[in-house]
């Protein structure tokens, strides 16, 4: 199912990079009131949904209020984490010089402390995208998501671990920077992670107190319903964000790379790796907003610090450039992309079948091309 990548000459790779740089420069020069109004509008909507959701859950003893309240709270958390938190923390709105929207200090409504996210996501994942052994988003240290990860019997549980990760995704993300798999192997010890654990504890405590103690207690006779509403809203956000995020880099046709291949990359080669390692989701405007525009994962990985609502506008151009260079542009509807992710999770639970000579691993095709272009 692998889409093979073309062989580009070093000159072509750099020309390709220059074209992408030009898009970026054009958008940066155009940033202004429209972008500021967009993000403040989304924040206003999120805060409105949150207040409405929490208010309705106080009357959660009434089924319609519970349903509406839970839905509003789930939507609020999704907007807060994806279109606001994730994007603001990338520094997409730093140019506004508004301390409330500063990427280095923003906090979000989820268990993971913003500072740890900035490290594990903005730095580790976005710099080392799809480099096996460096990008810890490949399987989150728990799953086998690439054939380049050596199989062992632990991975028989791959589908089960994936289901658990999806259900408790906010905690999975919160523990991401702990590098649990390195604790297990003894490469690091809990003592090294004391500070990190302290931050996680404080953030989880704040989130738990609000969602599972204070708001339910303020709901009087609706207490159990408010509790259930908060749990359901958190679960809905977990499942949704897991789905969108796993569709970003694991659908069929995305490539992984080795550390050697990505060493000493030029800017053009970096763009090329980002493009081959990412996949888009097609859908309507509301779908894109609710996915934090991570449905435009390709554009996001090329330009992680451009305001995400701009991705849809530049996607046509990025796609056209890719077509001209013969670079595959991986895009498909949610059911198809997620379907292929689920198949991959199941397939990689099992050891690789012994193959006859001549067959290649998925990722090798692209990897070799990238090496050839280097």
Tokens of 159: 């589908």
Residues 255, 366 contacting (CB under 8 angstroms): yes
Tell me whether residue 230 is exposed, middle or buried, using C-beta atoms within 10 angstroms of its C-beta: 0 to 12, 13 to 18, 19 or more: buried
If one asks whether residue 77 binds other proteins (CB under 8 A), the answer comes out as no
Task: Choose one: 25-33, 162-170, 191-199, 242-250; the region binding other proteins (CB under 8 A).
Answer: 25-33
Please report how close the Cβ of residue 52 comes to other proteins at its closest, in angstroms. 12
Contact letters (x/-) for other proteins, 30-69, by CB under 8 A?
Answer: -xxxxxxx------x--x---x------------------
Q: Which of 14, 94, 199, 265 contacts other proteins by CB under 8 A?
A: 94
If one asks whether residue 214 binds other proteins (CB under 8 A), the answer comes out as yes
If one asks whether residue 95 binds other proteins (CB under 8 A), the answer comes out as yes
If one asks whether residue 215 binds other proteins (CB under 8 A), the answer comes out as yes
Question: How many residues bind other proteins, per CB under 8 A?
Answer: 27
Nearer to other proteins, 103 or 159 (CB): 103
If one asks whether residue 236 binds other proteins (CB under 8 A), the answer comes out as no
Angle at 262 between CA 261 and CA 267, to 5 degrees: 130
Subset of residues 191 to 210 that bind other proteins, contact rule: CB under 8 A? 203, 206-207, 209-210
Subset of residues 107 to 126 that bind other proteins, contact rule: CB under 8 A? 107-109
Largest CA distance in the chain: 69
If one asks whether residue 352 binds other proteins (CB under 8 A), the answer comes out as no
* Cross-strand bridge partners of residue 131: 257
Nearer to other proteins, 98 or 192 (CB): 98
Please report how close the Cβ of residue 308 comes to other proteins at its closest, in angstroms. 15
Residues that bind other proteins (CB under 8 A): 31-37, 44, 47, 51, 94-98, 100, 104, 107-109, 203, 206-207, 209-210, 214-215
């Amino acid at each position: 199912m692998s889409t093979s990548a073309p062989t580009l000459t070093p000159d072509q790779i750099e020309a390709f990079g220059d074209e992408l740089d030009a898009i970026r420069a054009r958008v940066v020069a155009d940033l202004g009131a429209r972008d500021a109004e967009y993000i403040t509008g989304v924040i206003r909507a999120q805060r409105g949904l949150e207040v409405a959701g929490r208010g309705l859950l106080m009357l959660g003893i009434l089924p319609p209020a519970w349903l509406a309240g839970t839905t509003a709270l789930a939507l609020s958390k999704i907007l807060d984490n994806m279109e606001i938190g994730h994007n603001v923390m990338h520094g997409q709105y730093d140019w506004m010089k508004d301390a409330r929207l500063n990427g280095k200090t923003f906090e979000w409504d989820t268990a993971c402390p913003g500072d740890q996210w900035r490290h594990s996501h903005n730095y580790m994942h976005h710099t080392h995208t799809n480099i096996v052994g460096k990008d810890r988003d490949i399987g989150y240290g728990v799953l086998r998501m690439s054939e380049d990860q050596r199989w062992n019997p632990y991975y028989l549980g791959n589908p089960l671990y994936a289901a658990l990760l999806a259900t408790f995704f906010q905690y999975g993300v919160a523990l991401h920077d702990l590098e649990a798999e390195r604790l297990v192997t003894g490469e690091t010890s809990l003592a090294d992670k004391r500070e990190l654990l302290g931050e996680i504890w404080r953030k989880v405590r704040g989130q738990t107190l609000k969602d599972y103690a204070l708001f339910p207690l303020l709901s009087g006779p609706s207490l159990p319903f408010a509790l259930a509403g908060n749990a359901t809203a958190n679960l809905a956000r977990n499942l949704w964000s897991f789905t969108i995020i796993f569709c970003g880099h694991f659908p069929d046709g995305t490539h992984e790379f080795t550390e050697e291949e990505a060493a000493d990359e030029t800017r053009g080669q970096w763009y090329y790796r980002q493009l081959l390692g990412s996949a888009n989701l097609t859908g309507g405007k509301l779908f894109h907003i609710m996915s934090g525009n991570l449905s435009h994962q390709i554009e996001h990985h090329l330009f992680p610090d451009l305001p995400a609502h701009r991705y849809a506008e530049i996607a046509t151009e990025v796609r056209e450039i890719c077509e001209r260079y013969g670079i595959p542009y991986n895009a498909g509807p949610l059911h198809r992309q997620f379907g292929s992710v689920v198949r991959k999770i199941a397939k990689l639970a099992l050891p690789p079948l012994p193959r006859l000579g001549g067959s290649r691993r998925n990722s090798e095709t692209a990897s070799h091309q990238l090496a050839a272009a280097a």
